Amino acid sequence: MENSHDESEIQPLNNNTDSSQEVNPNEQITEDTSQQNDLPDQQLQRISDRVAQEGKMPLSMVETAFLASTASLIWLINYYFPLGPVLRIFFPIPIALVYLRWGHRASWMSALVSGLLLSVLMGPTRSILFFIPYGLMGVQLGALWRRGSNWLLSIGIGGLIGTFGFFFRFWLLSILLGEDLWIYLMTQITEVAEWVFVKLGFLAQPNLLLVQAIALAMVILNNMIYLFVVHLVALLLLDRLGNPIPRPPHWVQVLVDYDY
């Protein structure tokens, strides 16, 4: 009898302890929400930025692939149906647009994808001639335009890249053809220089150093003019696409008479 009485006294105590250990679901929800509210604002901002970036990744990949194929298509059309310098102006613009919209990583991917696509369609030689200088030039223009650099800097650096691409093209084609194309170019410039000297009344014959200096100056001047025209086309085109480039100098604004 005493043992049964003791067991009856222990059972209510156990029931009370079990009931005290039970957790109300509503209280747990309120504790979770309070813990979430206690998170720092910086962590919440990082989480929201990460979600936004993950949502933009498919759009970035689609635009990068589309603009890379656009650059390759422009090069392909210009090779089989040359229209003079018209399509050549647009070679670096799609890659520069990728940089303006999605940054350096997407721009490099676009340049490399364009080269790989052209290597499949036209062979590795043509793809290399596109990547150097126009792929590099597109990345360089996009980087400087996104940083707000002035036209003088972007045209100067782009002109140097174009000059390097010109001599790289001569070197590569000379290896593939087995002939030194630079000698052929020197011969043509020497004839032009002699004709100019005769018209000016000079009896001296231009030496090799002068001819090479004239050739280098002509290549640099040609690339500077090309980059200036690319800037004008990008100014008119990219403004309409919502990715404007830095504003040109005042004399260019007066020359173009464009409503900014």
Q: 2 lies in a domain?
A: no
Range of the domain at 175: 25-256
pLDDT score at 16? 43
Q: 9 lies in a domain?
A: no
CB-side exposure of 146: number of CA atoms within 13 Å?
17
Q: 11 lies in a domain?
A: no
120 or 5: which carries more pLDDT confidence?
Answer: 120
| pLDDT exceeds cutoff 70 at 76 | yes
Q: What are the pLDDT digits (tens) for 109-132?
A: 999 999 999 999 999 999 999 999
Q: 152 lies in a domain?
A: yes
Question: Residue 23 region, left (φ>0) first, then alpha (ψ -120 to 50), else beta?
Answer: beta
| pLDDT exceeds cutoff 70 at 6 | no
pLDDT score at 5? 45
Q: 148 lies in a domain?
A: yes
What pLDDT band is residue 183 in, cutting at 50, 70 and 90? confident
Q: 153 lies in a domain?
A: yes
Burial of 107 (0-12, 13-18, 19+ CB in 10 A): buried
Residue reference for tokens 């790989």:
116
pLDDT score at 201? 83
pLDDT score at 197? 86
Query: Where are the alpha helices (H) located in the chain, listed in sequence order?
Result: 2-21, 25-37, 41-80, 93-102, 104-122, 124-130, 136-146, 151-177, 181-200, 208-240, 250-256
| pLDDT exceeds cutoff 70 at 231 | yes
State the Cα–Cα distance between residues 189 and 62, nearest whole angstrom.
47
Q: 79 lies in a domain?
A: yes
Would you say 185 and 173 are in contact if contact means Cβ atoms under 8 Å apart?
no
| pLDDT exceeds cutoff 80 at 259 | no
pLDDT score at 45? 64
46 or 197: which carries more pLDDT confidence?
Answer: 197
Q: Provide the 10 A C-beta neighbour count for residue 100.
A: 20
Q: 14 lies in a domain?
A: no
State the Cα–Cα distance between residues 60 and 53, nearest whole angstrom.
10
| pLDDT exceeds cutoff 90 at 135 | yes
Provide, rounded to the nearest whole percent, the portion of the chain with pLDDT above 70. 77
Q: State the pTM of this model.
A: 0.76
State the Cα–Cα distance between residues 126 and 124, nearest whole angstrom.
6
State the Cα–Cα distance between residues 247 and 207, nearest whole angstrom.
43
Number of domains in the chain: 1
